[in-house]
Amino acid sequence: MAMANFLALFLLMELIAGGYRDGANGLSMNYYVFSCPFAEPIVRNTIASALQSDPTLAAGLVRMFFHDCWIQGCDGSVLLDSTKNNTAEKESVGNLSVRGFELIDDVKGQLENQCPGVVSCADIVAMAATEAVASSGGPVYDIPKGRKDGRRSKIEDTFSAPAPSFNASELVRAFGQRGFSARDMVALSGAHTLGVARCSSFKNRLGDPTMDSDFSKTLSKTCSGGDNAEQPFDMTRNNFDNSYFQALQRKSGLLFSDQTLYSDPRTKSIADGYAKNQATFFLDFQQAMVKMSLLDVKEGSKGEVRSDCRRIN
């Protein structure tokens, strides 16, 4: 009995100290449990409070995570400011929809006061995205922590990101090159259930005869306000739900890269399934987001823990 109790205690301590571990990169669900035990509550509470004041920030935080991870891996590179000799990622046209930089600064400042030099900016971005999804009514899930911050951020690196003009084949290929299945790609596209897009991203669809006629009129009216005029992706812009996929069924996808998911047999059936069953979408989305969080993780001397998320140490 004593040996059984000892083994049980040993396994419990291993779980607390290690949690989920990825053998390739050493990340852990409970990475900060000893080094900065209040890290996750600080991130969670600060993000949740900000979203109560401004629910539209959720979309920007989820975009921040995706745009960070897609370029050079999840390393906080999207947070770095431009310098005299370098134009950073955040200046890219594709990053205009990313918001929440000041909020990340706020979280980082609190964490530096609690445990200086411990929690990376890359982890803050990743944790902020999970809280943004949960606070908007989406799935509640966790991701492993322990990423290091990168030292490179160049606008030209963003040119490889998927574009609003991509068709389904191009999307499947682009995501496949990063290790994602077609199902992962459709699930991640469902993040467009949050937020808006500017007319400059969808004006090429104006007059598209395959679009729902009423929706077409709505987009034309929106774009009469100019390229920066905004249109929600679906009718519940601040709620994380499956309305995005239901919009595709109505031929009311906002971007070409949205509606194309419903025109290709490889992705149409997946989109249909998510439109009918929100729980399935939620499950696939959280699994794809965990996979996204593991892209090109930096460890050891390949990265650092910035003291200021906008500048390398």
Contacts of 189 (CB under 8 A, 6+ apart): 171, 244, 257, 258, 261
Vertex 138 angle, CA 134 and 140, to 5°: 50
Per-residue pLDDT at 97: 78
List binding-site positions for substrate.
Answer: 162
Q: Which of 97, 96, 119, 139 is nearest to 46 (CA)?
A: 119
- Catalytic residues, by residue number, are 67
Q: Residue 4 to residues 1, 16, 17: CA-CA distances in angstroms?
A: 5, 18, 20
Torsion 170-173-174-176 (CA) sign: positive
Measured distance CA(3)–CA(169) in Å, rounded: 57
* Partners of 231 in beta bridges: 197
Annotated binding site for heme b: 192
Dihedral angle at the C-alpha atoms of 230, 235, 240, 246, nearest 10 degrees?
-120
Per-residue pLDDT tens for 227-246?
Answer: 999 999 999 999 999 999 99
What is the full per-residue pLDDT of the chain (313 aa) written as tens digits?
A: 454 444 344 334 444 444 444 445 689 999 999 999 999 999 999 999 999 999 999 999 999 999 999 999 999 999 999 999 999 999 998 887 789 999 999 999 999 999 999 999 999 999 999 999 999 999 999 999 999 999 999 999 998 889 999 999 999 999 999 999 999 999 999 999 999 999 999 999 998 999 999 999 999 999 999 999 999 999 999 999 999 999 999 999 999 999 999 999 999 999 999 999 999 999 999 999 999 999 999 988 889 999 999 999 9
**Residue 73 near residue 55 (C-beta atoms within 8 A):** no
Question: pLDDT value at position 8?
Answer: 42
Residue 177 zone, left/alpha/beta (φ > 0; ψ -120 to 50; rest): alpha
Residue 1: what pLDDT?
47
